[in-house]
Structure formats: C-alpha cells, structure tokens
Chain A
Amino acid sequence: AQKVTQAQTEISVVEKEDVTLDCVYETRDTTYYLFWYKQPPSGELVFLIRRNSFDEQNEISGRYSWNFQKSTSSFNFTITASQVVDSAVYFCALRYGQNFVFGPGTRLSVLP
C-alpha cells in the first residue's frame, strides 16, 4: 500500500534557524513522484517542490533544499534561515500513477 509518514507533528524554531522536516514513504511502484506542499494559516495548499523516483540528485532552491534517499525511502525538506512567514503546516505527498496520498503534516512555528 502507498503511505506517507511524517513523524514530526509539530516543530518550533526561532527565526534564522535551519529546520528539516522529515518524510518517509512506502510504495511498491518503481516510478513515483514526491512533493512538498505548504499550508499557511490562510488555508490554501501551495506546491513547493517535487522529485522523481529515478532522480536522486538533491537540490537547493533559494532557502529550500531537499534530500531524497531511495535506500531509506525518505524525502526530507530543509528550510534554511527560517522566517516567521514560513510558519505553516507542511505536507509531504506521494504520487503513483494518477493517485496522490498525503502525509499527516508537520506544523512548523517560527518564532521571532
């Protein structure tokens, strides 16, 4: 079965700290795609980053970076130099075929 686990329910950091959000997934598919979404207090779901199962190259995009490790089925997301506006719930999601499954989310609070 396809499943996404985000073990961290809530994280609090002080502004300018780096923070890593963990995501572990389960799938039997050999081709799949992983995503991170942000849900700020206003409620909308905003797409942040994606990664294909056949590309383990890790990347940096501005203050965001991600670490995809197929061997451990993990897709961790790091925010560098966090800001108060980063406070939100972050969801990791797995796409297999045309289906998507979301993790339970991690609530990040960035304190000034």
Chain B
Amino acid sequence: AAGVIQSPRHLIKEKRETATLKCYPIPRHDTVYWYQQGPGQDPQFLISFYEKMQSDKGSIPDRFSAQQFSDYHSELNMSSLELGDSALYFCASSPLRGEHYNSPLHFGNGTRLTVT
C-alpha cells in the first residue's frame, strides 16, 4: 500500500540558511500534519492542513511556514536556520471524515535535518 513519502531523507544546512522539506500524503487522505522531533523527545506538533487549508498551528516558529498544494503534497519551509532546528521532521497524513473518524496518523520516514 502507498505510504507517506518525505524528501529528502537527510539534509545538512548551515546556520542562517533555508531549507524546504517535502511531503506526499497517502492518496485520498484529507489531512496533513508536520511534526518536529528533537533528540530523545516526543514528536511536537507544528502545523496541519485539512483539504489544502491550514487547520491548526502548534509550536511552529515564525521562521517556518508551510503550505499544501493542489495535488495535496505539502512543503515545510524553514528560514534563518538555527542550531536548535536540528531534528527529525515528520509528515503524517490521515483521513478524518466519515467512517475514518478514528483513523491514526500515518507517518512518513522523516527528514533528518542537521544545522551546522
């Protein structure tokens, strides 16, 4: 079965640079989530989209932005990178409506961002 696809798998950037992470959700999933997981931490919610509209915001810094496109893929844009942004970034998708009210999040394999 198709899974959530994230790219790139690994990314190394220097401080103050920008980074763009991409996510392709499972087909027919109407909701996309972005999470950040620091070393030894649980995943922290950043932002979510429902049917291409931003639906909720968590602890996402102002330096980060995200959007979902007409083909449902999503991108997380990160600017003025800081050392503390080094983390594993997960994208997840889920169907939320109708009979899928109890669906779990299906996660991609994550993008490991290292800021030097």
Known: A33-B102, A98-B31. A43 touches B45 (CB 8 A): no
Residues of A within 8 A of B106 (CB): 47
Cβ of B45 and Cβ of A98 under 8 Å apart?
Answer: no
Residues of A within 8 A of B48 (CB): 98-99
B89 to chain A, nearest CB (A): 11
Cβ of B105 and Cβ of A99 under 8 Å apart?
Answer: no
Residues of B within 8 A of A (CB): 31, 33, 41-43, 45, 48, 50, 55-56, 88, 90, 92, 94, 96, 102, 104-110, 112
Interface segment, A13-21, A22-30, A66-74, A101-109? A101-109
Residues of A within 8 A of B (CB): 33, 35, 37, 43-47, 50, 52, 91, 93, 95, 98-105
Q: How far is B107's CA from A101's CA once the two chains are assembled, in angstroms?
A: 14
A23 to chain B, nearest CB (A): 12
Cβ of B109 and Cβ of A44 under 8 Å apart?
Answer: yes
